[in-house]
Amino acid sequence: MTMACSRRLRRLRPGLTLLAALTVAATFALRGTLLATPPSPAGCHAASPLLAGPRPARPPPSPPTLAEIEMRNGALWSGGFYSPPGCQARHRTAIVIPYRSRLAHLRYLLDHLHPFLQRQRIHYGIYVVEQWGQGTFNKGILLNAGIVEVLRDADWSCVILHDVDLLAEDDRNTYTCDNYNPTHLSVAIDKFDYRLLYREYFGGVVALTPEQLRKMNGFSNQYWGWGREDDDLWKRVGLSGMKVVRPSVKVARYKMIKHERDPGNEENPHNFDVLKRTELDWRSDGLNSLSYKFLSKERKALFTHITIDVGEKQT
């Protein structure tokens, strides 16, 4: 899919490390005011009465159109935001989807995720962070840039980094953050027989607070192409004094929409060498050394579309 991304260079995110570090620090320190949510009485119930428990995902042969999904989600604000009516949400969650050329998957995900999150009665926003151009995909830079831009956009208490092709299959898998430790939400995926792949596995859907992201310096920027950036993220959690927490394998179930490896995201054997250096590099390789070009931010009906130029493959 070529989501038309205007080359309007509205703002350059200068590549200078110092400036980038200041930008990142300012973002974390001066987080924007929360998108105006209508004042409302008492807090939302601890557990939403709308939760429906296990709901196997059965995507239809072809995904609904964006217009059809929009029709089904009339309570959204422009940009893909939602606040539960009649109560003050206890959680403010931003869903950040790394993205390039996966429109069919995005339509499946939006059609699935909006009602899923509304049943959980959280205040949320969905952001699609698209890598501009046909260069080698870099999920780490894309998500670091997404984190900076999203926290500049509003005062989110939880950031969920979400593969575009994963559909949650149980309403009780709440899209909120643990106050102390990063959460691995995609524990049991059909592709892996609904079992945890390995103890250090931290791919797919992860939930972190802005404070946790700052503590672990976000993602590494050094992983070009497919593989290992999620293993690096696992190591950063431990190296920064935290530990990964997970919902039960019974609840944290997902369906992964089948797909081949994407052009521009071929496996990169060099990533194994990068992973060997995490202990040495993590403090200086991440949010504090991030360099990208901000190209555009558009409020679409079902999501906010941010387009980023991650630059050319370095290794």
Residues near Mn ion (CB under 5 A) are 165
Q: For ligand UD2, what does the binding mask look like between residues 105 and 144, x meaning CB under 6 A?
A: --------------------------------x-x-----
Q: Which residue stretch of 9-17, 73-81, 92-100, 207-215 sits at the interface with ligand UD2 (rule: CB under 6 A)? A: 92-100
Contact flags string 154-193 toward ligand UD2, x per CB under 6 A: ---------xxxx-------------------x--x----
Q: Strands 123-131, 92-99: parallel, antiparallel or unpaired by DSSP?
A: parallel
Instruction: State yes or no: is 281 an active-site residue.
Output: no
Determine the interface stretch with ligand UD2 among 11-19, 28-36, 78-86, 223-231 (rule: CB under 6 A). Answer: 223-231
Is 256 among the catalytic positions? yes
- Give the number of other CB atoms < 10 A from CB of residue 294: 19
Measured between alpha carbons, how far is 59 from 38 in angstroms, rounded to an integer? Answer: 34
Half-sphere exposure of 122 (CA within 13 A, CB side): 27
Q: Tell me if 262 contacts ligand UD2 by CB under 6 A.
A: yes
Strands 158-162 and 92-99: what pairing?
parallel
Q: Which segment (225-233, 238-246, 280-288, 303-311) binds ligand UD2 by CB under 6 A?
A: 225-233
Which position among 130, 149, 171, 229 bears the catalytic label? 229
Whether 256 and 298 have beta carbons less than 8 Å apart is answered as: no
Say whether 163 is catalytic.
Answer: yes
CA of 238: how far to CAs of 77, 181, 214, 299, in Å? 38, 10, 14, 36
C-alpha angle with apex 147: 146 to 152, nearest 5 degrees?
A: 100
CB of 229: closest distance to ligand UD2 in angstroms?
Answer: 6
Contact 170, 211 (CB under 8 A): no
Residues 6+ away with beta carbon under 8 Å from 264: 100, 134, 135, 136, 137
Catalytic pick from 130, 149, 163, 232?
A: 163
Active site residue 171: no
Residue 84 or residue 204: which is nearer to ligand UD2 going by CB? 204
Q: Which of ligand UD2, Mn ion, none lies near 170, with the C-beta cut-off 5 to 8 A by kind?
A: none
Active-site entry in 70, 256, 266, 283: 256
Residues acting as catalytic residues: 163, 165, 226, 229-230, 256, 259, 261
